[in-house]
């Protein structure tokens, strides 16, 4: 919770006489920097163990109610849900005139915000009310018209659900089954791509949600198969759709943030750095005071990641250090578990800056921190980048004994479940094995030829550039042979 949310909670729940145990528990949980296990021990010693469970549940309910009230004040969607509850209460009390007025406004607002599920509920409430009063005040045609409108909304919702299902299934297969690392891997997405084409060919409403889902699906698909040029074009179209419908964005606009991240990642992978500043500007515009703190921190982390990446590409190490020094400690460390992949990336690029500046101990400290605080994910390329850079630092520090252990654990972890290593990974590990000590001036000519042949293969393999977008391991190996 942000500081403002904590203050709001205390102001709205601290009224009344007498001590409130759930507020004491809240104060304890609000203490920062305490490990989970120690926090649990403190809670068990401060409160009756028998009552602690019910106390925790009550605190959760109070916090949830408080956060919902805050969302109602700012989020139009929450206001619509509140409107439905008000209509239900008015109908139960037989205040038909008032409920009809609110129902009409609710339908109009839901239509403006393109919320078909709310529109359908509004139609259903009205039909239920007519049914309860014996259809006394309507004609046969009015009843049929209302039923048809409700049916059309359900058809549109079904189409949107089909599109969401395809997008979610694609993400699931990639996250659980691994990234696309070769042309043969694309086969596992062929059926989804065909289904999406069939879905788009059918008759459907061309509204914000359907345009967004189609372009999200296409851009994500093109990114995963390594067609970054096409992905960038699709992302440009997606960004235009978002900009044309700013009034329809969620609060906070998580989809728009994800789209901007995808654009910046694709631009980085095709070396189109000139367009980066424009989208970084769009990203910074999302750091607005009326959005929740957790979202604003995610925006700031994303800006920092892409800012460091851009400066590293330009070779502006002084600018990188200046940016790191300007970063608030909270931006680096707060809400670290909300988007762990982003946290890996932030720590990684900070480490790269220190590595490039020759501050190996500082670079290693940031890598160690993220490795200790977060669990390795076999499907995240940034986890591979972190481990490889970590091994490179061990190598350059001459700690070859520990390096041998790291190589074994790396191959064991990232090769599990029959996954194969990228050629870039094999290249770095082969260098360690062919030239086990950095002080060694040369390596056997046969080994050198094999490494150079592998470098040439990497140069023309689009799938390898997914990992090289984080750090040019290929160039690092070239410098050492």
pLDDT digits (tens, 9 = 90+) for 318-373: 999 999 999 988 899 888 888 999 999 999 999 999 999 999 999 999 999 999 98
Residue 156 and residue 280 in one domain? yes
Per-residue pLDDT at 92 exceeds 60: yes
Q: Could you give the angle at the alpha carbon of 378 between the alpha carbons of 376 and 384, nearest 5°?
A: 75
Q: What average pLDDT score do residues 243-266 get?
A: 90
Helices (H) and strands (E) in the chain, counts: 24, 0
pLDDT at 264 over 80: yes
49 and 161, same structural domain?
A: no
User: Does residue 459 fall inside a structural domain?
Assistant: no
CATH code of 250's domain? 1.25.40
Q: If you ran DSSP here, which 8-state letter would residue 47 be given? A: S
- What is the reported pLDDT for 17? 45
Same domain, 161 and 280: yes
Q: What is the largest CA-CA distance in the chain?
A: 96
Domain membership of residue 432 (yes or no) is no
Which one of 286, 301, 316 terminates a domain? 286
Same domain membership, residue 113 and residue 26: yes
Mean pLDDT of 197-208: 80
Q: Quick check: is 301 in a domain?
A: no
| Structural domains counted in the chain | 2
- Do 162 and 112 share a domain, yes or no? no
Judged by average pLDDT, the poorest of 174-183, 262-271, 459-468 is 174-183
* Most confident stretch, 38-42, 254-258, 263-267: 254-258
Three-class secondary structure of residue 92 per DSSP: helix
Instruction: With cut-offs at 50, 70 and 90, classify the pLDDT of residue 48.
Output: confident
Quick count: other Cβ atoms within 10 Å of Cβ 453?
10
Q: 270 with 213, same domain?
A: yes
- Structure-token pair, residue 442: 């040369």
Is pLDDT of 16 > 80?
A: no
**Cis bond before residue 252 (omega within 30° of 0):** yes
Q: Are residues 179 and 265 in the same domain?
A: yes
3-state secondary structure of 208: helix
Q: How far apart are CA 243 and CA 80, in angstroms?
A: 23
**Residue 289, pLDDT score:** 87
Question: What is the extent of the structural domain holding 65?
Answer: 3-125
* Three-state secondary structure string covering the chain: CCHHHHHHHHHHHCCCCCCCHHHHHHHHHHCCCCCHHHHHHHHHHHCCHHHHHHHHHHHHHHHHHHHHHHHHHHCHHHHHHHHHHHHHHHHHCCCHHHHHHHHHHHHHHHHHCCCHHHHHHHHHHHHHHHHHCCCCCCCHHHHHHHHHHHHHHHHHHHHHHHHHHHHHHHHHHHHHHCCCCCHHHHHHHHHHHHHHHHHHHCCCCCCHHHHHHHHHHHHHHHHHCCCHHHHHHHHHHHHHHHHHCHHHCCCCCHHHHHHHHHHHHHHHHCCCHHHHHHHHHHHHCCCCCCCCHHHHHHHHHHHHHHHHHHHHHHCCHHHHHHHHHHCCHHHHHCCCCCCHHHHHHHHHHHHHHHHHCCCHHHHHHHHHHHHHHCCCCCCCHHHHHHHHHHHHHHHHCCCHHHHHHHHHHHHHHHCHHHCCCCHHHHHHHHHHHHCCCCCCCCCCHHHHHHHHHHHHHHHCCCCCHHHHCCCCHHHHHHHHC
Alpha carbons 299 and 294: distance in angstroms, whole number: 9
Task: Summarize pLDDT for 144-181 with one digit per residue, the tens.
Answer: 999 999 999 999 999 999 999 999 998 888 777 666 66
Question: How far apart are the two ends of the chain, measured CA to CA in Å?
Answer: 51
Is 447 part of a structural domain of the chain?
no
Q: Whose CA is closest to 335, among 377, 292, 396? A: 292
Any domain includes 131: no
Q: Is the pLDDT of residue 2 over 80?
A: no
Among residues 189, 277, 256, the alpha carbon closest in space to that of 226 is found at 189
Distance CA 260, CA 232 (A): 11
Q: Please indicate, yes or no, if residue 215 is contained in any of the structural domains.
A: yes
% the chain with pLDDT above 90: 49
Rounded to an integer, what distance in angstroms lies between the CA atom of residue 158 and that of residue 200? 13
Asked if residue 94 and residue 50 are part of one domain, the reply reads yes
* Residue 178 domain-assigned (yes or no): yes
Give me the mean pLDDT over the 95-117 stretch.
93
Q: Whole-angstrom Cα distance, residue 306 to residue 261?
A: 9
Judge if 73 and 161 occupy the same domain.
Answer: no
* End-of-domain residue from the set 236, 258, 286: 286
Answer yes or no: do 202 and 242 share one domain.
yes
- Look at residues 220, 252, 286 and tell me which one is the last residue of a structural domain: 286
Q: Does a structural domain hold residue 20?
A: yes
Q: What is the pLDDT of residues 272-301, one digit of tens each?
A: 888 888 999 999 999 998 898 899 999 999
Same domain, 170 and 83: no
pLDDT of residue 79: 94
Burial class (CB in 10 A: 0-12, 13-18, 19+), 9: buried
Output the average pLDDT for the chain: 88
Are both 162 and 250 inside the same structural domain?
Answer: yes
């Amino acid at each position: 919770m942000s500081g403002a949310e904590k203050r709001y909670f205390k102001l709205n729940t601290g009224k009344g006489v007498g001590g409130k145990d759930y507020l004491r528990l809240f104060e304890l949980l609000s203490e920062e920097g305490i490990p989970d296990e120690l926090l649990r021990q403190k809670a068990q010693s401060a409160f009756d163990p028998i009552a602690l469970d019910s106390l925790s549940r009550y605190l959760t309910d109070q916090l949830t109610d408080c956060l919902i009230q805050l969302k109602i004040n700012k989020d139009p969607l929450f206001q619509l849900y509140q409107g439905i509850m008000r209509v239900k209460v008015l109908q139960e009390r037989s205040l038909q005139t008032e409920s009809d007025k609110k129902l009409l406004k609710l339908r109009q607002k839901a239509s403006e915000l393109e919320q078909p599920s709310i529109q359908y509920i509004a139609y259903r409430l009205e039909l239920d009310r007519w049914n309860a009063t014996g259809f006394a005040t309507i004609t046969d045609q009015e009843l049929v018209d209302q039923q048809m409108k409700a049916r059309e909304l359900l058809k549109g919702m079904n189409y949107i659900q089909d599109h969401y299902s395809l997008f979610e299934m694609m993400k699931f297969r990639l996250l659980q089954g691994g990234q696309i690392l070769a042309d043969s891997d694309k086969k596992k997405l062929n059926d989804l791509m065909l289904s999406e084409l069939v879905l788009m060919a059918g008759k459907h409403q061309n509204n914000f949600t359907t345009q967004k889902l189609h372009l999200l699906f296409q851009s994500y698909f093109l990114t995963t198969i390594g067609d970054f040029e096409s992905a960038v074009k699709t992302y440009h179209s997606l960004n235009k759709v978002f900009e044309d419908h700013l009034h329809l964005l969620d609060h906070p606009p998580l989809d728009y943030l994800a789209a901007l991240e995808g654009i910046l990642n694709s631009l980085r992978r095709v070396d189109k750095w000139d367009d980066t500043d424009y989208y970084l500007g769009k990203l910074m515009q999302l750091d607005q005071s009326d959005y929740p703190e957790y979202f604003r921190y995610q925006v700031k982390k994303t800006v920092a990641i892409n800012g460091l990446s851009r400066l590293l590409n330009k070779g502006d190490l002084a600018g990188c250090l200046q940016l790191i020094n300007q970063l608030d400690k909270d931006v680096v460390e707060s809400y670290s578990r909300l988007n762990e992949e982003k946290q890996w990336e932030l720590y990684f690029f900070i480490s790269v800056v220190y590595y490039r500046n020759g501050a190996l101990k500082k670079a290693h400290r940031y890598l160690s921190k993220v490795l200790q605080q977060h669990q390795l994910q076999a499907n995240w390329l940034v986890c591979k980048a972190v481990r490889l850079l970590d091994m490179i630092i061990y190598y350059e520090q001459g700690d070859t004994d520990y390096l041998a252990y790291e190589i074994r654990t790396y191959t064991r972890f990232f090769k599990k479940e029959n996954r194969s290593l990228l050629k870039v990974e094999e290249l770095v590990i082969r260098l360690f094995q062919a030239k086990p000590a950095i002080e060694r001036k040369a390596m056997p000519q046969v080994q050198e030829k094999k490494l150079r042949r592998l470098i040439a293969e990497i140069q023309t393999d689009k799938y390898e550039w997914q990992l090289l977008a984080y750090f040019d391991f290929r160039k690092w190996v070239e410098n050492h042979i």
